[in-house]
Structure 1
Amino acid sequence: MSVTIWFDPSCPYTWRTSRWLRAAAGRRDEKVVWRFLSLAVLNEGNDDVPERYRLSHQRALAALRVLAAVDGRHGQDAVDRLYSAIGERVHGPADRYLDRDVLVESLAEAGLPAELIDAADDASLDAVVRESHDAGQQRVGTPSGSPVVAFDDHPAFFGPVLSSVPADADADQAFEGLRLLSGVREFSEVKRARDPLS
């Protein structure tokens, strides 16, 4: 049994979802498979995206290049460590911009070689990011933002969108509920009002 998340590191809701998923999967001795989703790629050609979001998406693309290089050279555990370090800085109490300084600090915290920061400027890694992004979009079946989550070999979901990380019992209930729903081919969508981030 496996669980896969496609993520853009700039998204604060995705960060909360990733912490829920990681903890709930860990209590079951399951590993999370980390894949890349780019909001920059998703919004290509969309002139309605405000400039501040465009800048955020481009900074995230630089981070995704570094994450892709880390995945290729050091594997999934290293991706987990690096995304955790990035997320704590960007989506935690410090609330920093996802910039080069954050990437440099996060590589150091994750115990990864400092020269991996050069990947942020390596446009050849965009092909790796795009391939992962496209695989996630295909799996969910419709253009979707971050995160996309898939259980086992079932179709993926956009979401879940979490405003905060639930307590363990609720987290486990959500995990099992989504896993069960993922196996129901006829299930398409469920939605309610989004709570503010906390």
Structure 2
Amino acid sequence: MIADFWLDPSCPYTWLTSRWLVEVTRVRPVEARWHVMSLSVLNEGRDDDPEGDPEGYLWVPARLCASVADRYGSDALGRLYTALWTTGGDDDQDWLGDLTTALRAAGLPEDLADAALTPESDDLVRASHARAMAAIGGESGTPVVAVTASPGERVAFFGPVISRVPEGEAAGRLWDGVLLVAGTPHFHELKGRPRANPVLR
């Protein structure tokens, strides 16, 4: 089973969901494929900025990830994404490691960091984001997951939004439940308790 996972690399809740999916691959026959989406793209043209990013800082990691995915593929993006979240400081708020350090840790050329600082990769980010929106059938936040369970059978959903990463069989049970709910014909939305602060480390 393939799980296509679209991530905004700046979102802490998406990071936790991605680590859940990694856990799922250990306990279920699931292969993760990584793709980029961006809240910056989602909010383009809006008068308000729900992300509070008037300087466009959130474009930087999205551009880098899109460039890596385009040149080196999903596995390389997965390595870079992990490095971005694990090569920073000890402070939970210091979510983004130094770009060149992360590239080095992911086994990628450090000069790719230049792609993050110009709009050259913006069309790559927008195109990948558009594929996420097409998969889910409308506008959505991050992450978006689309699962190919069998030929011709595709299930897509936003989230799940979690504040802690379930491990082992607990991760597998959550996966089973999400697929069951999201795969139910005519199902639209489910919401849980108020969001808690993410536990990143």
TM range (shorter): 0.7 to 0.9
Residue range with higher mean Cα deviation, 133-142 or 86-95:
86-95
Alignment of 1:37-186 (within 5 A): 37-49=37-49, 52-55=52-55, 58-89=56-87, 93-96=91-94, 98=96, 102-152=98-148, 153-186=153-186
How far is 1:39 from its partner? 0.6
How far is 1:14 from its partner? 0.3
Given the superposition, is the C-alpha separation of residues 183 and 90 from structure 1 closer, same or farther in structure 2, using an over 3 Å criterion? farther
- Per the normalisation by structure 1, the TM-score is 0.87
Amino acid at match of 2:7: F
How far is 1:94 from its partner? 4.8
Amino acid at match of 2:116: A
Given the superposition, is the C-alpha separation of residues 96 and 124 from structure 1 closer, same or farther in structure 2, using an over 3 Å criterion? same
Amino acid at match of 2:71: R
- Per the normalisation by structure 2, the TM-score is 0.86
Structure-2 separation of matches of 1:197 and 1:171: 17
Structure-1 separation of matches of 2:133 and 2:50: 23
Query: Contact 1:67 / 1:82 at 8 angstroms: preserved in 2?
Result: yes
Count of aligned positions = 194
Matched position secondary structure for 2:154: coil
Percent identity between matched residues is 41
Given the superposition, is the C-alpha separation of residues 75 and 26 from structure 1 closer, same or farther in structure 2, using an over 3 Å criterion? farther
CA RMSD of aligned residues (A): 2.2
Structure-2 separation of matches of 1:29 and 1:120: 34
Matched position secondary structure for 1:149: strand
Structure-2 separation of matches of 1:92 and 1:21: 24
- Render the CA deviation track for 1:37-63: whole Å, top value 9, x for unaligned: 1111111122222573444xx333221
Query: Contact 2:34 / 2:75 at 8 angstroms: preserved in 1?
Result: no
Given the superposition, is the C-alpha separation of residues 65 and 51 from structure 1 closer, same or farther in structure 2, using an over 3 Å criterion? closer
- Render the CA deviation track for 1:10-51: whole Å, top value 9, x for unaligned: 111000000001121233353211111111111112222257
Structure-1 separation of matches of 2:174 and 2:65: 28
The answer to which structure has the higher strand fraction is 2
Given the superposition, is the C-alpha separation of residues 89 and 52 from structure 1 closer, same or farther in structure 2, using an over 3 Å criterion? farther
Structure-1 separation of matches of 2:59 and 2:165: 25
Alignment of 1:179-194 (within 5 A): 179-193=179-193, 194=195
Query: Contact 1:89 / 1:96 at 8 angstroms: preserved in 2?
Result: no
- Render the CA deviation track for 1:58-114: whole Å, top value 9, x for unaligned: 33322122112212222221111100011224697453164xx62111001111111
